[in-house]
């Protein structure tokens, strides 16, 4: 495995470079990045639907419940087409899903903290985490545009760190590749 990686260190370097570029673009143009990710999701949903229908047709002779796959495929294709027709709604729906999840889990955490206060000390930490979740959800509902940008920035930050790590590994592998092929002493 090391030999394969060392001989192809440049492929890791390219992956790392593209990840860093993507991360920088996510910070520089978060709305464009969000739009691209939404459209990528739409393409995935359509492809997933097509493959589900193909699987249903192939299974129609032997399986009794193959029509569930057809239903799943049609639904997936519909969501994909809807994503292309109304990409803003898809992004907004995903953001609201995260917001309402945060609000609901936060409310449960606050409820658990209230019940725990009779049994343990430090339950206020659970209550604070619940309040933080509710606040996050409320902020996402009140300011969905800023919330979407924040999510893109997190993805961008991840891509930059991931890319930088791949680049570092690629150059380390390049040094090893030189040592393997030319007998040059390895550095680092």
Which phi and psi (to 5°) does residue 37 adopt? -65, -40
- Residue 187 clears pLDDT 60, i.e. is over it: no
Tell me which of 104 and 112 has the higher pLDDT: 104
Write down the pTM of the prediction.
0.65
Residue 138 included in any domain: yes
Residue 28 included in any domain: yes
Domain range for 135 = 2-182
Q: Which string of b and e fits 114-140 if b means at least 16 CB within 10 Å?
A: eebeeeeeebeebbebbbebbebbeeb
Residue 188 included in any domain: no
Q: At what angle do helices 144-182 and 30-59 cross, to 10 degrees?
A: 80
Q: What is the pLDDT of residues 37-80, one digit of tens each?
A: 889 889 999 999 999 899 888 877 665 667 888 899 999 999 99
Residue 85 included in any domain: yes
């Amino acid at each position: 495995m090391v030999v394969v990686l060392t001989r192809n260190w440049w492929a890791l370097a390219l992956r790392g470079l593209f990840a860093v570029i993507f991360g920088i673009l996510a910070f520089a143009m978060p709305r464009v990045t969000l739009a691209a990710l939404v459209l990528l999701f739409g393409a995935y949903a359509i492809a997933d639907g097509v493959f589900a229908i193909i699987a249903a047709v192939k299974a129609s002779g032997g399986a009794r419940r193959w029509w569930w796959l057809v239903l799943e495929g049609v639904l997936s294709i519909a969501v994909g087409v809807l994503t292309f027709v109304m990409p803003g709604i898809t992004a907004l729906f995903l953001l609201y899903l995260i917001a309402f999840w945060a609000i609901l889990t936060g409310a449960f955490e606050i409820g658990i903290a209230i019940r725990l206060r009779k049994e343990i000390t430090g339950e206020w930490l659970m209550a604070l985490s619940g309040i933080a979740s509710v606040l996050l959800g409320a902020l996402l509902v009140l300011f969905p545009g800023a919330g979407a940008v924040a999510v893109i920035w997190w993805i961008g930050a991840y891509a930059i760190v991931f890319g930088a790590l791949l680049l570092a590994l690629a150059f380390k592998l390049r040094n090893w590749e030189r040592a393997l092929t030319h007998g040059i002493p390895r550095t680092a």
